[in-house]
Amino acid sequence: MAANGDNQTVSEYIVHHLTNLTYGKLPEGFEREDGTVVSAGGQWTLAHGPNEMSVMGFNAVHVDSMLWSVGLGLIFCWLFRRVAVQASADTPSGWINFVEMVVEFVDGTVKDTFHGRNPLIAPLALTIFVWVFMMNLMDLIPVDLIPHTLMLVGVDYQKIVPSTDPNITMGMAIGVFVLMLFYSIKVKGFGFVKELTLNPFNHPLFIPVNLFMEVVGLLAKPFSLGLRLFGNMYAGEMIFILIAALFSVGIFWMLPAALLQVGWAIFHILVITLQAFIFMVLTIVYLSMAHEDH
Amino acid sequence: MNINLTLIGQLIAFVAFVAFCMRFVWPPIMAAMLERQNKIADGLAAADRAGHDLEIAQQQVAEQLTEAKKEAAVIVEAANKRAQAVVEEAKQAATAEADRVKTAASAEIEQERARAQEQLMSQVSALALAGAEKVLGAEIDADKHADILKTLSADNG
């Protein structure tokens, strides 16, 4: 797992691994790395280097994160849809059995936490759990395998773990947040406003204080949801990269680095499962809170 | 680590996958699992019922067996009684027959005896007549003396 360029430093290697393949809009008049100047009206293109990426700002898409994330989501849909088609009251076997086990586990968790009646919560929890788990699972693929292979065919950057991209985790967290707001208003109606203004100090004078505290608490939820997953996965990925960087230090580091890599991967099996589970449980808890009157 | 359009893309993908799961994945799997659950529950209930039925059948069998045994005992007893009665009857009949035979025999004997006595008497009277003839040396008219002889024999009888 040597670094790709011979003259690449360890820090370059690490930064390279943490850079997404970005497709975005360069502003008019920007001088690119190869010396060309972007023509009028801007230009949509693949970014070369971190400078172009930062210039692109919000008008960019992380192609790698998007493709891996959607691809894994499609795999999830395909695998589970196959079971949904085949499932019958007869004796289940093999993959059907496994899927039913997962479904039953998710169903149990939802029933433990969420006491209302909402046909969305359980499928939502299942999708989150399996999808996040699969995105996290990409972390266990050796860090250099896919980026380096793709580099050989001309793709500069490749980050294969979508959940190490805050856009991905926050995208899901915002989805959950929108659902929270929707169900809060749908279930409680005006009670939701009261909850925001008359809690915890039930007095008209305290409405601004209450509102401030409650809104902060409310907004903290999607951030805690999305950034927790991102932080954990990013840190895990970082450690994989650091261990991988050890290989380039010297021949004597080969064996310890390999052992560390294996050890961290084994430990990481626990982490990725746990993080997927936490994301799912928090989603259920937040939506359950959205349904319950205090 | 830039926040960009990926966020929106992921949000859309998220909504799409959840919608797909909610519509095409979750309900059929849950329905199949529920159906299987019911099937298993039914099977267990049926097994329970079968066990219960077996118990009842066994009880019935035991009851019928006891009843049959009782009946058999009654029948044997009746048979014994009947046999005794038959033996008793036979005994009585035999005794009666024996009595009858005995009576008949004794009557016959009596008759025989009477006849022999009569015969003997008549012979004795003849002998006595002959002796008296001899002794008297005269003929005795049997017809004349018949009533004497009759008296005699009646006396000796």
What ipTM was assigned to the predicted interfaces of this complex? 0.89
User: What digits encode the pLDDT tens for the residues B76-112?
Assistant: 999 999 999 999 999 999 999 999 999 999 999 999 9
**Mean pLDDT for the stretch of residues B126-142:** 75
Identify whether the C-beta of residue A148 lies closer than 8 Å to the C-beta of residue A13.
Answer: no
Q: Nearest-CA neighbor of A79 among B6, B25, B32, B96? A: B25
The single-letter code of the amino acid at B60 is Q
**The dihedral sign for the CA sequence A128, A130, A134, A140:** positive
pLDDT of residue B141: 66
* CA distance to partner chain B, nearest, from residue A72 (Å): 11
Q: Nearest-CA neighbor of A146 among A4, A277, A41? A: A4
Nearest residue in A to B13, CA atom: A70
Whether the predicted pLDDT of B37 surpasses 60: yes
| Integer Cα distance of A288 and B103 in angstroms | 120
Give the other-Cβ count within 10 Å of A99's Cβ.
22
| Integer Cα distance of A20 and A132 in angstroms | 19
Inform me whether the C-beta atom of residue B41 falls under 8 Å from chain A C-beta atoms.
no
Nearest residue in B to A105, CA atom: B30
Nearest residue in B to A124, CA atom: B18
Provide the pLDDT confidence category of residue B133 given band limits of 50, 70 and 90.
Answer: confident
- Contact list, B8 vs chain A (CB under 8 Å): 171
| Integer Cα distance of B124 and B135 in angstroms | 16
User: What digits encode the pLDDT tens for the residues B52-84?
Assistant: 999 999 999 999 999 999 999 999 999 999 999
Tell if the CB–CB gap between B25 and A126 is shorter than 8 Å: yes
Q: Is A216 exposed, middle or buried (0-12, 13-18, 19+ CB in 10 A)?
A: exposed
First CA to last CA across chain A, in angstroms? 55
Peptide bond into A50 cis (omega under 30): no
Counting Cα atoms < 13 Å in the Cβ hemisphere of B72 gives 6
Inform me whether the C-beta atom of residue B15 falls under 8 Å from chain A C-beta atoms.
yes
Residues of A serving a catalytic function are 224, 228, 232
Tell if the CB–CB gap between B21 and A126 is shorter than 8 Å: yes
pLDDT of residue A3: 40
Inform me whether the C-beta atom of residue B4 falls under 8 Å from chain A C-beta atoms.
yes
Mutate to test the interface with B, among A59, A172, A230 (most CBs of B within 10 A): A172
| Integer Cα distance of B5 and A53 in angstroms | 13
| Integer Cα distance of B119 and B113 in angstroms | 10
At A3, phi and psi to the nearest 5?
-65, 155
The continuous run of DSSP H or E covering A26 comes out as strand A22-26
Give the other-Cβ count within 10 Å of A11's Cβ.
9
Whether the predicted pLDDT of B117 surpasses 50: yes
pLDDT of residue A5: 47
Mutate to test the interface with B, among A14, A21, A62 (most CBs of B within 10 A): A62
Identify whether the C-beta of residue A197 lies closer than 8 Å to the C-beta of residue A214.
Answer: yes
| Integer Cα distance of A191 and A184 in angstroms | 9
Look at the block and give the residue holding tokens 């009157």. A293
Which one is predicted more confidently, B136 or B127?
B127
Identify whether the C-beta of residue A129 lies closer than 8 Å to the C-beta of residue A276.
Answer: yes
Inform me whether the C-beta atom of residue B39 falls under 8 Å from chain A C-beta atoms.
yes
DSSP B103: H
First CA to last CA across chain B, in angstroms? 168
DSSP A37: B
- Contact list, B24 vs chain A (CB under 8 Å): 77, 81, 84
Give the other-Cβ count within 10 Å of A272's Cβ.
23
Tell if the CB–CB gap between B21 and A77 is shorter than 8 Å: yes
pLDDT of residue A2: 42
Task: Count CB pairs under 8 A between chains A and B.
Answer: 140
* CA distance to partner chain B, nearest, from residue A272 (Å): 19
Q: What is the pTM of this model?
A: 0.76
Query: pLDDT below 70 — which residues of chain A?
Result: 1-7, 294
Counting Cα atoms < 13 Å in the Cβ hemisphere of A171 gives 30
| Integer Cα distance of A194 and A171 in angstroms | 28
Q: Nearest-CA neighbor of A14 among A46, A47, A50? A: A50
Identify whether the C-beta of residue B29 lies closer than 8 Å to the C-beta of residue A82.
Answer: no
A253: CB partners within 8 A, 6+ apart: A246, A247
Whether the predicted pLDDT of B48 surpasses 90: yes
